[in-house]
């Protein structure tokens, strides 16, 4: 698994490079916060459509070809992004990139292939750590790259080309070094006793669990997407400064995913850990809402918000994996990834719209999603039917 995790890190490093640059490119091309949020949402729409398809593909034909295919597609999308000189090309490139975002679901399915149920949450946390480390380093690099050859204005060319090279490297690593982990592939190819994909939804309590992917993704996507616009309007920051802020947040996410998730899940279980983390995340929201318009507010508030929400990724996916037939791991985790993308469609567009009227409004939405998930954790712990396979708590 180290090679897969390294490939994920490289790919997410490329993704992180793009994040702090895009909002400023949108503004340079004549867009505003609404079109900037729409750019985030078009990525998520494509991911919503393609996530389950990539997951089903990996169940039938193997994790390795599916993963290599997503990295190759990401390479092409970043080249298109780097060459973009209009809003239309930006949207096209981001749609292409979103269509390749199924690689996270595929990697989670690969982890499910080679781990026990008891260790699955911790293993998925490793994926989150690779995600967090890539996102920690990426924005800082992206902020620096955006200043090259821009005559004072941020540009996307070098960030896009660098991200393309990283994704291409991830594809090469996957093709040469990653083994096939899907041992059920032969059975799937022979169509022997393979459950229908709809059985993913039939486990009692599964619908409510899957709905939490949408809710948490709304809060997460708003947190990430609104950060550059909030920092530019409230603090007057540029793309490099925003990159450093996101980098600091990514460092926090990395350490939590790597060192805290395993012990938390072992002691409290996924559901209780998630509830506690979302309570912590509400503290960060309160800092942004009620703190002074000073850099210290951003430096404290945003890392706390993102650190609190980072447990949603391993906790929810671990629960879905453990409640799903082993022959449908890619499909189930592709669906969960797709549903998360659905939340990332609604969240940024809504936030961009209300942000034009009030800089505080998006953070009330973020807080609402956290409170809703906390209510779900209370229900899950108190009213979970006895025949649902419960996590070790």
The pLDDT score that the predictor gives to residue 387 is 39
Please state the rounded mean pLDDT for residues 48-74.
88
Considering only residues 182 and 269, tell me which one the structure prediction assigns the higher pLDDT: 269
CB 213 within 8 A of CB 316: yes
The pLDDT score that the predictor gives to residue 189 is 52
Considering only residues 37 and 98, tell me which one the structure prediction assigns the higher pLDDT: 98
Specify if 143 maps to a domain: yes
Please state the rounded mean pLDDT for residues 342-347.
82
Specify if 296 maps to a domain: yes
Burial class of residue 97 (count of CB atoms within 10 Å of its CB; 0-12, 13-18, 19+): buried
Alpha helices by DSSP H, listed for the chain, are 2-18, 22-28, 33-61, 63-83, 87-99, 103-114, 117-145, 157-177, 185-190, 206-230, 239-255, 261-290, 295-309, 312-322, 329-355, 361-383
Cα distance from N-terminal residue to C-terminal residue, the chain: 26
Lowest average pLDDT, out of 134-138, 193-197, 218-222, 270-274, goes to 193-197
Specify if 10 maps to a domain: yes
pLDDT tens for residues 41-60? Answer: 788 788 888 888 888 888 88
At a CB cut-off of 8 Å and minimum separation 6, what does 313 contact? 124, 127, 128, 131, 257
Return d(Cα 55, Cα 37) in angstroms, integer.
27
Please state the rounded mean pLDDT for residues 181-209.
67
Torsion sign, CA atoms 101, 106, 107, 112:
positive
Specify if 194 maps to a domain: no
Percent of the chain whose pLDDT exceeds 70: 90
Structural domain total, the chain: 1
DSSP secondary structure code for residue 359 in this structure: S
Distances (CA, A) of 202 to 156, 199, 206, 210, 383: 45, 5, 7, 11, 18
User: For residue 378, what is the domain's CATH number?
Assistant: 1.20.1250.20
Lowest average pLDDT, out of 91-95, 137-141, 281-285, 317-321, goes to 137-141
pLDDT tens for residues 227-277? Answer: 888 998 899 988 778 878 888 887 888 888 778 888 888 889 899 999 999
Pick from 65, 377, 83: nearest CA to 215: 377
Got the DSSP string for 45-69? Answer: HHHHHHHHHHHHHHHHH-HHHHHHH
| pLDDT band at residue 391 under the 50/70/90 scheme | very low
Specify if 266 maps to a domain: yes
Q: What is the Cα Rg of the chain in Å?
A: 20
Q: Average pLDDT over the chain, rounded to whole?
A: 82
131, pLDDT greater than 90: no
279, pLDDT greater than 60: yes
CB 200 within 8 A of CB 51: no
Two tokens, residue 319: 């629960």
* Residue 55 belongs to domain spanning: 2-178+199-383
Specify if 305 maps to a domain: yes
∠ CA(27), CA(244), CA(308), 5° rounding? 100
Specify if 189 maps to a domain: no
CB 283 within 8 A of CB 179: no
pLDDT tens for residues 289-322? Answer: 999 999 999 999 999 998 888 888 888 988 888 8
Specify if 258 maps to a domain: yes
pTM reported for the whole predicted model: 0.74
């Amino acid at each position: 698994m180290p090679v897969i995790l390294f490939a994920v890190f490289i790919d997410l490093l490329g993704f992180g490079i793009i994040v702090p640059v895009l909002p400023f490119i949108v503004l340079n091309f004549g867009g505003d916060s609404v079109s900037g949020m729409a750019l985030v949402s078009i990525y998520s729409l494509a991911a919503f459509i393609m996530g389950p398809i990539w997951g089903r593909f990996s169940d039938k034909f193997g994790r390795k070809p599916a993963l290599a295919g997503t990295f190759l597609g990401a390479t092409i999308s970043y080249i298109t992004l780097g060459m973009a000189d209009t809003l239309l090309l930006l949207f096209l490139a981001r749609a292409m990139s979103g269509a390749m975002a199924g690689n996270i679901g595929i990697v989670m399915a690969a982890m499910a292939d080679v781990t026990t149920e008891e260790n699955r949450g911790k293993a998925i946390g490793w994926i989150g750590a690779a995600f967090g480390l890539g996102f920690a380093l990426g924005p800082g690099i992206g902020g620096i790259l955006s200043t090259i050859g821009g005559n004072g204005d941020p540009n996307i060319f070098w960030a896009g080309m660098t991200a393309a090279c990283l994704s291409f490297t991830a594809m090469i690593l996957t093709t040469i070094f990653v083994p096939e982990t899907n041992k059920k592939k032969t059975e799937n190819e022979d169509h022997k006793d393979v459950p229908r994909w709809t059985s993913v939804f039939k486990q009692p309590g599964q619908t409510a669990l899957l709905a939490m992917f949408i809710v948490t993704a709304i809060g997460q996507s708003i947190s990430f997407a609104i950060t550059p616009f909030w920092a530019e309007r409230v603090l007057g920051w540029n793309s490099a400064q925003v990159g450093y802020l996101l980098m600091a947040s990514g460092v926090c996410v990395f350490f939590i995913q790597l060192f805290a998730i395993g012990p938390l899940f072992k002691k409290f279980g996924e559901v209780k850990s998630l509830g506690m983390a979302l309570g912590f995340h509400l503290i960060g929201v309160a800092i942004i809402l009620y703190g002074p318009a000073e850099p210290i507010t951003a430096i404290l508030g945003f890392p706390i918000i993102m650190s609190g929400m980072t447990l949603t990724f391993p906790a929810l996916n671990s629960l879905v994996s453990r409640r799903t037939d082993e022959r449908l791991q890619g499909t189930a985790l592709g669906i969960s990834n797709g549903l998360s993308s659905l939340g990332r469609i609604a969240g940024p567009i809504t936030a961009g719209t209300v942000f034009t009227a009030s800089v505080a409004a998006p953070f009330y939405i973020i807080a609402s999603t956290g409170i809703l998930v906390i209510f779900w954790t209370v229900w899950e712990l108190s009213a979970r039917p006895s025949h649902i396979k419960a996590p070790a708590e």
